[in-house]
Amino acid sequence: MANYKDIIGAFRDKPGGIIEAYHALQKEFNYIPKPAIAEAAKVFGVSEAQAYGVATFYSYLSTEPRGKYIIRVCESAPCHIAGADQVVKAIEKELGIKTGETTADGKFTFELTECIGQCQETPVITINSVPYVGITPDDIPAVLDKCR
């Protein structure tokens, strides 16, 4: 596993480097460790509050540890009408967690998100940004078994 200081340093001289560094941190750690935010503030010459603001502005980024598999359910109107709320309940039941939580083994984090851009086949979930379209509650055990 890479060092967060090395990751941030690699983007030091790039325009918009703080956002690129945060994406690289998230790719490496699955979240942005809090000490990395302080380091980014130093490297990019902004206050810690500003660095934290960037890290928390985008819903894709997280400053809290998350599971190896990030499951997101689209909560936009088309998915909601197509039964996303039932898919949410099925995921919660299968994993034993609520939205915003991570399983005790650190394997799964469950989140809600806005439109994924797959409205032609709703409801939609993503697992680590890979879309699964036309999902039903009955599909959830088999989809999650692929990650287990």
- pLDDT tens, 10-28? 999 998 899 999 999 999 9
Answer whether residue 145 shows pLDDT above 80. yes
Q: Which domain holds residue 51?
A: 4-57
Answer whether residue 91 shows pLDDT above 70. yes
Mean pLDDT of the chain: 93
Predicted confidence at residue 16, as pLDDT, reads: 87
Asked if the structure places residue 62 within a domain, the reply is no
Predicted confidence at residue 59, as pLDDT, reads: 78
Predicted confidence at residue 22, as pLDDT, reads: 97
Instruction: Order across the sheet with 69-74: list the strands.
Output: 108-113, 69-74, 124-127, 130-133
Query: Are residues 77 and 51 located together in one domain of the fold?
Result: no
Predicted confidence at residue 1, as pLDDT, reads: 63
Query: Are residues 50 and 77 located together in one domain of the fold?
Result: no
Query: Are residues 78 and 118 located together in one domain of the fold?
Result: yes
Predicted confidence at residue 48, as pLDDT, reads: 96
DSSP 30: S
- Looking up residue 141, the CATH number of its domain turns out to be 3.40.30.10
Report residue 127's pLDDT band, with 50, 70 and 90 as the boundaries.
very high
Predicted confidence at residue 106, as pLDDT, reads: 93
Query: Are residues 13 and 80 located together in one domain of the fold?
Result: no
Predicted confidence at residue 114, as pLDDT, reads: 87
Asked if the structure places residue 44 within a domain, the reply is yes
Asked if the structure places residue 42 within a domain, the reply is yes
Asked if the structure places residue 36 within a domain, the reply is yes
Strand, helix or coil at 52?
helix
Query: Is the separation of the CB atoms in 48 and 40 below 8 Å?
Result: no
Answer whether residue 148 shows pLDDT above 90. no
Report residue 63's pLDDT band, with 50, 70 and 90 as the boundaries.
very high
The residue-averaged pLDDT of 104-122 equals 92
* Number of domains present in the structure of the chain: 2
Query: Are residues 96 and 137 located together in one domain of the fold?
Result: yes
Burial class (CB in 10 A: 0-12, 13-18, 19+), 99: middle
Cα distance between residue 36 and residue 43, in whole Å? 10
Where does a domain end: 57, 79, 94?
57
Alpha helices in 30-146 (DSSP H): 34-44, 48-57, 77-81, 84-95, 140-145
